[in-house]
Amino acid sequence: MQVTLNCKNFGIYMLRCRHCHKQDLLNTGIYIGQTITKFSQRFNGHRQNWSIQIKNKNFENDDKYALYKHYRSRHQQYNLPATIEEAYTIFFLEQPKPENLNNREDFWKHHTQANINITKMTTSNIH
């Protein structure tokens, strides 16, 4: 089911690596995130972290650098895209109640078999 959300919404989102998708690599290249603020505000954080990593070229073991780390370690044969939007496709998944964000993020990590996230799931009961 297609969810109609926009950059002013909060909720759960997915970033899918364009190269993994192009190579039809199943269950790889997926990052699941959540935001309680507007998605545009949260995604600006992803953009900023991407830019910082392009300049620094180091792999910090932190979720905020996970998207860059995936791209550099899996697709080193390609030039690094200047923007995160060139590397990843963005999908809005759902807008649950704010108190359910952590559980729903964990559900989507499990359901999509997200493998870019570094932080482990926070709940033990996934429906």
Q: Which helix (H) or strand (E) holds 121?
A: none
Radius of gyration for the chain, computed over Cα atoms and rounded to the nearest angstrom? 14
Coil/strand/helix, residue 33: strand
Coil/strand/helix, residue 112: helix
Q: How far apart are alpha carbons 46 and 78 in whole angstroms?
A: 20
Q: How far apart are the first and last CA of the chain?
A: 18
Query: What's the predicted TM-score (pTM) here?
Result: 0.83
Residue of 20 and 122 predicted with greater confidence: 20
Give pLDDT tens digits for 30-46: 999 999 999 889 999 99
Phi, psi for residue 7 in degrees, rounded to 5: -70, -10
Q: How far apart are alpha carbons 2 and 83 in whole angstroms?
A: 26
Give pLDDT tens digits for 43-96: 999 999 888 887 776 666 667 788 988 988 888 888 888 899 999 999 999 999
Domain boundaries, the chain: 11-112
The highest-level CATH class for domain 11-112 is alpha beta
